[in-house]
């Protein structure tokens, strides 16, 4: 019951401070140019299938969304607790016979629901955009849009939990904000560069594209298990497969054959099934980060 009180308080605060609209605005800024690109493709290349539209959507959205939403989430988490300690509001809240455990769990749950509401609105925006450019909204397209945004939601929740660790260990919200940005860029950019270097260093010369993808996925799973963006990138890399097919053509000089590589769209659900371990890591690491923050918060000095 006390968790529910904290949850309602944070949810109301999140809506009043327009956090949900900040997330939605970021999604809109990403989807609007995507709709334009799809519309231009319809003008120049004819009808775009649902699979082709979703493949382009995932490529276009994933990288930028992971960057902007990841920063927003870790910054929100990094100032969630220490800012209220600085302002003294946390002592007022805890004086209402609510335990520290219930307070921080309710707060985290409330912020997570704010993210989820924004994600649901983003799903509607994406579907409206795809319908506008003439893409048929089949069950598969709608399902893939939803699952793609669920992955983005899990990335935000994990970064939020990571931010809570910084917020409970650093009393200054300003310091926590700066360190949060450093941590984000290390996790998002610097460490993956080192891991990718190791992948290409140990890559056999005759490896196929699929083999290279599998090798990179294994390295990301083993060495970047703590990075939500790395896990999300690993999952979405499996939405399509490349297949080499033999083509026969008739020429004035006779019949000839050649090998051609084609891309087959499998879907987000297929990718999650193939890389279930990475999807699971997004959930498990969120709980681990939150547990560390909770233990620290229960023991920290709030003066």
Q: Which of 70, 230, 75 is nearest to 156 (CA)?
A: 70
Distance separating alpha carbons of residues 279 and 44, to the nearest angstrom: 37
Q: Tell which wins on pLDDT, 204 or 199.
A: 199
Dihedral angle at the C-alpha atoms of 89, 94, 100, 103, nearest 10 degrees? -70
Q: How confident is the model at residue 208 (pLDDT cuts 50, 70, 90)?
A: confident
The parent domain of residue 113 ranges over 2-299
Q: Per-residue pLDDT averaged across 170-174, rounded?
A: 88
Burial class, 189, CB count within 10 angstroms (exposed 0-12 / middle 13-18 / buried 19+): exposed
The structure's pTM equals: 0.86
**Mean pLDDT over residues 260-268, rounded?**
73
pLDDT per residue as tens digits for the range 2-17: 555 555 555 556 555 5
Q: Is a pLDDT exceeding 80 seen at residue 163?
A: yes
The pLDDT value given to residue 285: 97
pLDDT for the residue numbered 246: 54
β-pair partners for 242: 263
- The stretch 54-72 carries a mean pLDDT of 80
| Cβ neighbour number for residue 208 with a 10 Å cutoff | 12
Chain centroid to CA 193: 19
Reply yes or no on whether the pLDDT at 133 is more than 80. Answer: no
Q: How confident is the model at residue 263 (pLDDT cuts 50, 70, 90)?
A: low
Average pLDDT over residues 216-231: 95
User: DSSP assignment, residue 98?
Assistant: -
Total count of domains within the chain? 1
Report the pLDDT value the prediction gives residue 115, as an integer from 0 to 100: 85
pLDDT digits (tens, 9 = 90+) for 176-189: 999 999 999 999 99
pLDDT tier at 195 (50, 70, 90 boundaries)? Answer: very high
Instruction: For 13-48, give one letter per residue: b (16+ CB within 10 A) or e.
Output: ebeeeebbebbbebbeebbeebbeebeebeeeeeeb
Helical segments of 17-99, H only: 19-45, 50-78, 82-87, 89-94
| 158 in Cβ contact with 228 (< 8 Å) | yes
Task: Report the distance separating Cα 54 and Cα 36, nearest Å.
Answer: 14
Q: What is the pLDDT of residue 128?
A: 82
Q: What token pair was written down for 303?
A: 């003066």
Average pLDDT for the chain:
81
CB of 169 closer than 8 Å to CB of 79 = no
């Amino acid at each position: 019951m006390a968790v529910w009180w904290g949850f309602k308080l944070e949810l109301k605060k999140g809506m009043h401070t327009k956090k949900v609209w900040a997330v939605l605005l970021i999604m809109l800024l990403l989807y609007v140019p995507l709709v334009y690109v799809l519309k231009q493709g319809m003008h120049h290349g004819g009808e775009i299938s649902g699979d082709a539209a979703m493949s382009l959507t995932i490529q276009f959205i994933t990288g930028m969304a992971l960057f902007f939403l990841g920063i927003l989430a870790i910054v929100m988490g990094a100032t969630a607790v220490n800012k209220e300690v600085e302002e003294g509001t946390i002592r007022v809240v805890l004086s209402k016979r609510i335990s520290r455990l219930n307070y921080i769990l309710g707060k985290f749950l409330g912020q997570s629901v704010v993210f989820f509401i924004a994600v649901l609105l983003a799903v509607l925006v994406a579907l409206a955009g795809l319908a506008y450019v003439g893409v048929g909204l089949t069950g598969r397209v709608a399902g893939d849009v939803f699952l793609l945004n669920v992955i983005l939601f899990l990335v935000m929740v994990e970064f939020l939990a990571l931010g809570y660790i910084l917020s409970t260990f650093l009393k200054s919200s300003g310091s926590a904000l700066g360190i949060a940005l450093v941590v984000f860029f290390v996790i998002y950019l610097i460490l993956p560069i080192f891991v990718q270097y190791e992948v290409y260093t140990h890559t056999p010369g005759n490896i196929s594209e699929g083999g290279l993808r599998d090798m990179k996925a294994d390295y990301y799973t083993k060495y970047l298990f703590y990075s939500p963006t790395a896990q999300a990138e690993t999952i979405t890399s499996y939405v399509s497969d490349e297949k080499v097919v033999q083509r026969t053509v008739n020429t004035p000089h006779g019949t000839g054959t050649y090998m051609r590589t084609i891309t087959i769209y499998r879907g987000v659900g297929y990718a999650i099934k193939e890389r279930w371990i990475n999807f699971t890591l997004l959930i498990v690491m969120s709980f681990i980060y939150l547990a560390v923050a909770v233990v620290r918060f229960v023991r920290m000095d709030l003066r």
